[in-house]
């Protein structure tokens, strides 16, 4: 099926379930670009990017799907599942879309959502709304990893990394870059125009 036909089918399925058809079309566009063969690294498959566990047991009285690569069945399943999420969250599109992307369990647990999910919802709802209506709908806090400290409370100083440039007499055997010998290479710090290598491990 051509993309125009798939978009028309997506709109029809959305309207028959009381879903805003523009929102459902943008959802599918974001998920797969209307590519019925799309595959994600996490295992989502098909035009509606359905995960295998969700396909087998979606819950919420949604009929499972056997062939996720069937664009008609995939669009049907996606519309059914989004409709179920809208019912679960009282018509709140922000939460329903977040649940479609990250799972209802992640939405229900609170504490913020992955940045990817927030970006996903903002993309789909952007043309239809202003600021977020739900104060709970925020990016989950990512706490920086604590740096180690010595017993006296002073952090260890950076240690220069030893490296060597092998001496090669034959010009054809000269390597393109020096051989770095340390276990861990931290960062390159420029000091007065001279790059130094430091190990912060």
Tell me the per-residue pLDDT of 4-36, one tens digit each, with 9 for 90 and over.
999 999 999 999 999 999 999 999 999 999 999
The percent of residues in the chain predicted with pLDDT above 90, rounded, is 57
What DSSP element (H or E) covers 13?
Answer: helix 3-16
Q: How many domains does the chain fold into?
A: 2
How high is the pLDDT of residue 1? 82
- 123 and 173 inside one domain: no
Tell me the per-residue pLDDT of 132-146, one tens digit each, with 9 for 90 and over.
444 445 544 434 444
2, 7, 15, 31: the active-site residue: 31
Structure-model confidence comparison of residues 1 and 58, the more confident one: 58
How high is the pLDDT of residue 155? 52
Task: Give me the chain's average pLDDT, please.
Answer: 76
- 59 and 113 inside one domain: yes
In a domain, 24, yes or no: yes
- 8 and 107 inside one domain: yes
pTM more than 0.75? no
Q: Is 31 one of the annotated active-site residues of the chain?
A: yes
What is the rounded (10 degree) CA torsion for 138, 139, 140, 142? -140
Euclidean distance between CA atoms 13 and 76, whole angstroms:
7
Structure-model confidence comparison of residues 26 and 195, the more confident one: 26
Query: Which of 29-38, 50-59, 93-102, 162-171 bottoms out in mean pLDDT, i.e. has the lowest?
Result: 162-171
Rg (CA), the chain: 26
Tell me the per-residue pLDDT of 43-85, one tens digit each, with 9 for 90 and over.
999 999 999 999 999 999 999 999 999 999 999 999 999 999 9
Structure-model confidence comparison of residues 153 and 173, the more confident one: 153
How high is the pLDDT of residue 157? 53
- 167 and 68 inside one domain: no
- 27 and 100 inside one domain: yes
Q: Where in 4-138 does DSSP place strands (E)?
A: none
Answer whether residue 127 shows pLDDT above 80. no
- 88 and 171 inside one domain: no
């Amino acid at each position: 099926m051509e993309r125009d036909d798939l978009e028309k089918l997506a709109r029809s399925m959305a309207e028959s379930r009381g879903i805003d058809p523009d929102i459902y079309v943008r959802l599918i566009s974001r998920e797969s670009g209307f590519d019925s063969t799309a595959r994600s690294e996490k295992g989502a498959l098909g035009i509606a990017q359905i995960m295998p566990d969700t396909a087998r047991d979606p819950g919420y009285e949604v009929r499972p799907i056997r062939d996720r690569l069937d664009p008609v069945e995939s669009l049907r399943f996606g519309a059914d599942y989004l409709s179920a999420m809208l019912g679960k969250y009282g018509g709140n599109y922000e939460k329903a879309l977040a649940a479609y992307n990250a799972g209802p369990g992640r939405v229900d647990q609170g504490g913020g959502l992955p940045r990817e999910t927030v970006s996903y919802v903002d993309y789909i709802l952007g043309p239809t709304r202003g600021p977020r209506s739900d104060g709970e709908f925020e990016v989950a806090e990512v706490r920086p990893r604590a740096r180690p400290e010595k017993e006296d409370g002073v952090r260890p100083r950076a240690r220069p990394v030893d490296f060597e440039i092998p001496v090669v007499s034959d010009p054809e055997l000269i390597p393109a870059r020096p051989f770095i010998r340390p276990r861990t290479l931290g960062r390159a710090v420029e000091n007065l125009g001279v790059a130094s290598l430091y190990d912060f491990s």
